[in-house]
């Protein structure tokens, strides 16, 4: 049976679809919920987001961190308790297979993933453990996730994953054309709390709830890519600026490392993630998968779209690297056309670092 959150019983709750099926898209007033979640007009953010459909996989045992280090793109050997990081499990071709939010409590490493990833990830990890002292479990049925943009003092005892985005991690690299201090992701200090499923309603209590539409709008405004939305079967981390938080370029060998190094040092990613400010006169949003068009030529695809409480309709899209960054694009949703101004997330000259001046991606726009 498919998961259904207990908060869908709240007044006004409307269930989401797609990646977020099983939890509420909104509770009757998406714009108000987004304002409460973001802390609009300087007021402390008060709303939390039900993400109890997320998958949760645990890795216990004394070899857990060194073992995950050998498998993944991230250096987690000495990961300190309660420090959030992100790791990718890649194919031999360097394409993203799993993207996990990672936090360790000193005894167990917790991997938070999209709902449909938990069982495949647990199976994959179990096939990789060999004789090492690790124990893998899919605990999605026993643990729920709640999202927030603030640290909630009353939940201090709960384990929380703090999103490292957009801060440049150790061994990471920014493919952005702007310096970190100007990155819009700084306005979204995201965290995800792990809550025992049986205590979910009691823990949330009477706190205001925001639906996932509100969380998605803030994610898009922060340029934060999401597995299953901004990724497809061909996606490599460079295209999404994920070398920033999910890849350690100086760590030891892992599956897919050759592609990571080759594209970073000698090549360029074939596509780049862009932020689109859409024309709001249509009062609708294009569906994910809509074509991005330049002069009657398809140059990319919308990956996510949302209504932002300040900016109006916005989207993320993957487009060809060679597209003129100053061009006004069109989004074609089955004949419905949306003019779209692009904002660079991944620089057009990203990659091919060998032989180039240091810091070439950090020039102001």
Q: What's the rounded Cα separation, in Å, for the pair 117 and 346?
A: 26
CATH 3.30.1360.120 fits 48-259, yes or no: yes
Beta-sheet strand order (sheet of 160-162): 160-162, 191-196, 143-148, 48-50, 209-210
pLDDT, tens digit, 9 for 90 and up, residues 26-68: 999 999 999 999 987 456 678 999 999 999 999 999 999 999 9
SS3 state at 198: helix
Q: What's the rounded Cα separation, in Å, for the pair 164 and 87?
A: 11
pLDDT, tens digit, 9 for 90 and up, residues 213-269: 999 999 999 999 999 999 999 999 999 999 999 999 999 899 999 999 999 999 999
Q: What does CATH list as the number for 271-345?
A: 2.40.30.110
8 A C-beta contact, residue 92 and residue 100 = no
Residue in 303, 225, 239, 236 with CA at minimum distance from that of residue 271: 239
Residues 6+ apart with CB under 8 A from 344: 176, 177, 272, 274, 275, 325, 365
Q: What token pair was written down for 319?
A: 């487009």
pLDDT, tens digit, 9 for 90 and up, residues 159-217: 999 999 999 999 999 999 899 999 999 999 999 999 999 999 999 999 999 999 999 99
Look at residue 45 in the predicted model and tell me its pLDDT. Answer: 72
| pLDDT surpassing 50 at residue 84 | yes
Q: How many residues in the chain? A: 365
Look at residue 356 in the predicted model and tell me its pLDDT. Answer: 62
Predicted confidence band of residue 355 (pLDDT cuts 50, 70, 90): low
Look at residue 363 in the predicted model and tell me its pLDDT. Answer: 34
Peptide bond into 343 cis (omega under 30): no
Look at residue 351 in the predicted model and tell me its pLDDT. Answer: 87
Look at residue 40 in the predicted model and tell me its pLDDT. Answer: 73
Please name the residue that has the structure tokens 């495949």: 120
Measure CA 336 to chain center. Answer: 28
Look at residue 130 in the predicted model and tell me its pLDDT. Answer: 86
Look at residue 259 in the predicted model and tell me its pLDDT. Answer: 95
Query: Which whole number is the average pLDDT over 10-36?
Result: 97
- 143-148 and 191-196 as β-strands: parallel, antiparallel, unpaired? antiparallel
Q: What token pair was written down for 297?
A: 């030529």
pLDDT, tens digit, 9 for 90 and up, residues 272-303: 999 999 998 888 999 999 999 999 899 999 99
Domain ranges of the chain: 48-259, 271-345
Predicted confidence band of residue 357 (pLDDT cuts 50, 70, 90): low
Handedness of CA 315, 318, 319, 325 (dihedral sign): positive
CA distances from 355 to 236, 264, 265, 267 (A): 22, 12, 9, 12
Q: What token pair was written down for 118?
A: 């938990």
Rounded to two decimals, what is the model's pTM? 0.94
């Amino acid at each position: 049976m498919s998961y259904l959150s207990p908060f869908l019983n709240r007044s006004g709750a409307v269930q989401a679809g797609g990646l977020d099926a099983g939890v509420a898209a909104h509770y009757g007033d998406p714009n108000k919920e987004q304002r409460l979640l973001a802390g609009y007009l300087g007021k402390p953010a008060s709303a939390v987001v039900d993400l109890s459909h997320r998958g949760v996989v645990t890795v216990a045992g004394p070899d857990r961190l060194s073992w995950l280090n050998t498998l993944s793109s991230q250096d987690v050997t000495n990961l300190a308790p309660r420090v959030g990081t992100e790791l990718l499990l890649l194919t031999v071709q360097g394409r993203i297979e799993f993207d996990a939010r990672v936090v360790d409590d000193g005894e167990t490493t917790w991997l938070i993933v999209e709902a449909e990833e938990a069982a495949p990830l647990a199976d994959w990890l179990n096939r990789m453990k060999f004789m090492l002292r690790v124990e893998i479990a899919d605990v999605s049925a026993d643990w729920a996730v709640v999202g927030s943009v603030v640290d909630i003092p009353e939940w201090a005892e709960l384990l929380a994953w703090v999103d490292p985005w957009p801060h440049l991690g150790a061994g990471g690299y920014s493919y952005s054309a702007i310096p970190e201090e100007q990155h819009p992701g700084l306005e979204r200090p995201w965290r995800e709390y792990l809550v025992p499923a049986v205590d979910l309603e009691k823990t949330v209590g009477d706190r205001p709830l925001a639906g996932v539409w509100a969380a998605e709008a803030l994610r898009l405004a922060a340029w934060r890519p999401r597995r299953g939305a901004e990724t497809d079967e061909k996606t490599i981390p460079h295209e999404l600026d994920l070398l920033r938080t999910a890849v350690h370029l100086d760590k030891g060998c892992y599956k897919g490392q050759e592609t990571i190094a080759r594209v970073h040092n000698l090549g360029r990613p074939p596509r780049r993630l862009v932020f689109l400010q859409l024309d709001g006169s249509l009062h609708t949003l294009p569906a994910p998968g809509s074509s991005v068009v330049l002069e009657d030529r398809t140059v990319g695809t919308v990956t996510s779209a949302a209504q932002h409480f300040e900016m109006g309709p916005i989207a993320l899209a993957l487009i060809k690297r060679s597209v003129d960054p100053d061009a006004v694009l069109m989004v074609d949703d089955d004949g419905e056309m949306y003019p779209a101004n692009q904002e660079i997330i991944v620089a057009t000259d990203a990659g091919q670092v060998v032989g180039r001046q240091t810091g070439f991606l950090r020039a102001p726009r």
